[in-house]
Structures are given as structure tokens and as C-alpha cells.
Amino acid sequence: MTLTLLLDLDDTLLNTNLEAFVPAYFQALSAQLASHVEPEKMLRALLTATGRMMESHDPSCTLRDVFESDFYSKLGISKQVLAAPLERFYDEVFPTLQQVTSRVAGADLFVEWARGQGYRTAVATDPFFPQKATYERIRWAGFDPAQFELISSFENFHFSKSHAAYYAEFLGRMGWPDSAVLMVGNDLERDILPAQRLGLATYQIASESASGPGPEAGARGKLADLRSWLESTDLSALTPSFKSVESVMAILLASPASLSSLFENADPSLWQHRPGSDEWGLTELACHLRDTEREIHQMQIKLLREQAEPFIPRPDTSVWASQRNYLNENGPAALEEFTHARIQTIQALQDVPASDWNRRARHAIFGPTNFLEVVSFMADHDRMHIQQAWKTLHPD
């Protein structure tokens, strides 16, 4: 069975020593920008903007958008003024911070073994740094960034690791794998519990030897024990389950973010390209998601909220692509419209009382159901079309 390994970076693949690294980073950055802004003012702006990134749950804005909007306004300096000094900092000064970190013994051997097993490996680090800095830190850990299928950074992620939506966005960026997934990290609050809230299996890096499920934390153990733990584990037991209210909401929130990042660098020709005669192109997918959100999902939620045991219709949307001539629409604009419609859906669902998620209904296709299951069908619909888009973008 294929396994997708999401690997934390700090104090999992790299001994970061945050108590030394963070002050050293702040001091070095303050010194680099001292001719443009006083260090105390820069530090306050940096901390506030980082806090905004940690809190953000807007699928229409990357964390870089969130950071830069707050950081530069607090400084009263334009981004263009600091662009060159920041570039020099990450090229010349940031690499010197390697001295306060150290490599994790055996981490390189574990990743080499996992890749040899055919496992998909990715670095799920909190996306607070630019890609250049994140890649540099991965090299400090003894790796080539090219060894990993995906690495999160603030340019292309929309949520921090404190949100279950971060893990949903990450898996969406990987095409929503249908098989086993394991999140490996040391931090209970940022690596383990949010991943579990999405429905993922977890392995917490700890000082003791590997063990079975522990209190709240899934499996625990040293990184050195992870290979043997995996070799003795039935990987099918690591298959995710997305059935809770929080997991469904996380998927719905993350889907526009995943699609935006997946489509960002797509060859323009792919928007109108159909992979097969009976398959949709990216523009058709974006239009389908937009119209389904507006005309089906929002209608279904309205019925569920306003009626006791409603009948939930599900019109046939498969004919819309040809009937509405989706291929001649503007694909990026349709994706943006889907994002705005999904934000409206999320806002409506956030107001649903906990008791209402079990309210009964009857679905036109699936028969007797309830509020949560109907909304989970929407999340499944997202995952199916993200898989479709990913395969279009990764034909090999």
C-alpha cells in the first residue's frame, strides 16, 4: 500500500533549538534592516504580522499576502524599499544561522528508506518563512529540497499548522491521496492534534522508544524507531477518515486554497485542454465547482437549516459543461468566483448549532441521511474534483 508521509521540520528532521534560533533570527534581521527601520519597531511589526498569519483562515489570501499587508503597513514603508535588503538577508545572512541548529541523526537514512519504499514524502513545516529560507533550512537538515514532493512555505499556503485546514490544503496540493497518510512531528498542538482533527493518523516524535497509541497523541517514539514501527504496522490502519464536523469543515475551507495553488503555475493551454474526450479541462472544473456551489450546495444547506427532515434534491450537473459552454469561459475568474461562493457557504455553516448537525433528511441519491452527511458529500465532491485536477496537472 502507498503511504504519504508528512514530515515536520523543526525538531523532527532538524534540531532547531528554537530558544536560540528565534532570537538569533530576529537580531540578524533587525541588523539587516536597521538603516531603514529601528529594530524595536521592526520586531513589533514582525511579531504582529506573524500573529496575523497564525490566525488567518481566509482561503483567498496566502500567508504571504496576510503577512505583507500587516507588516509593511505597521512599518510605514513600502515593500519595494525593503525588497533588496531582504533578498540580501536571505541570500547572505540567513545561512549563517545554521550554526544554532544541528542535524538529526538518522533522519537522512529514514527519508532515503521511505523513498525507496515508494512512499510519498513531503515536508509539512509551518509556512511562516519564504520558500528560500525554508529550502535553506532543509539543506541544514542534510537534504536536497528536491527529495520531497511538496514543502510548505508562506508564498503558497493559506493556513498555519494550528488549523486542521492546513493539513487539508496540504493533501489537496498532493492530489488527495486515497491511501494511508501519516503526520510525523514533535509538537502536540501544531503537528499532532490539528492533523488528528482532520482525521489523519499521527506519530509524535518523543524521547522514549516507539509505542502504541498514547493519550491524545496517537503513536509516539523516536525518529530512529519510526522505520521499524512502520514495518510492523498495517498501513491500511493509517487510512484517513473525514467524517467529523471539523474534518468536513476543514476540507471545505481548504479546497479553494488548494485549487488556487495547484492552478497558479498551470500552463495556460491546460485551462482549455481536455485530458480525454469524456474528461473536463481546468476551466470546466472551475465553472462546475462554482455553479455547483451556488446552485446546489447553498440550496441544500438552506433546506437543511429551514425545514424539518427536508428532501434534498441533487440535480444532474454533468450536462452543464456542454449546456453552458464552460470551455469558452474565463477559467481563473471562475475559480475566483468559486472561492467567494465557498466563503459564503462556510459562513453559513459556522452558524449551525452543534445539535443541528444530526438533523435528519432524505437525499435524492443517497436516501435517509442527516445534515452532517449531506455536507460531507460536498467535501467528497471537492476531493474528487481536486484529484481530477491534480491528475490533469501531473499526467505522468
Cα–Cα distance for residue pair 155/217, rounded to 1 Å: 30
pLDDT one digit per residue (tens) for the chain, 396 residues:
799 999 999 999 999 988 899 999 999 999 999 999 999 999 999 999 999 999 999 999 999 999 999 999 999 999 999 999 999 999 999 999 999 999 999 999 999 999 999 999 999 999 999 999 999 999 999 999 999 999 999 999 999 999 999 999 999 999 999 999 999 999 999 999 999 999 999 999 987 665 555 434 579 999 999 999 999 999 999 999 999 999 999 999 999 999 999 998 888 888 888 887 778 999 999 999 999 999 999 999 999 999 999 999 988 898 998 899 999 999 999 999 999 999 999 999 998 999 999 999 999 999 999 999 999 999 999 999 999 999 999 887
pLDDT at 371: 96
Rg of the chain (C-alpha set): 22
Question: Dihedrals φ, ψ of 6, to 5°?
Answer: -100, 115
Distance CA 70, CA 68 (A): 5
Contacts of 292 (CB under 8 A, 6+ apart): 317, 381
CA geometry: angle 353, 356, 362, nearest 5 deg? 155
Cα–Cα distance, 339 to 341 (Å, whole number): 5
Q: What digits encode the pLDDT tens for the residues 318-337?
A: 899 889 999 999 999 999 99
Single pTM value for the model? 0.95
Sign of CA dihedral 317, 318, 323, 329: positive
Q: Is 233 left (phi over 0), alpha (psi -120 to 50) or beta?
A: beta
Residues in the chain: 396
The candidate with the shortest Cα–Cα distance to 240, out of 326, 181, 319, 177, is 181
List phi, psi (to 5°) of 215: -60, 115
Q: Which of 173, 139, 174 is nearest to 157 (CA)?
A: 173
The residue to which cell 514603508 is assigned: 77
- Strand 211-214: give its sheet, edge to edge: 120-123, 3-7, 180-185, 201-205, 218-221, 211-214
CA-CA distance, 182 to 340, in Å (whole number)? Answer: 32
Query: What was the pLDDT predicted at 210?
Result: 55
| Whole-number pLDDT of residue 318 | 86
Q: Give 263's contacts (C-beta < 8 A, 6+ positions apart).
A: 282, 286, 331, 332, 335, 389, 393
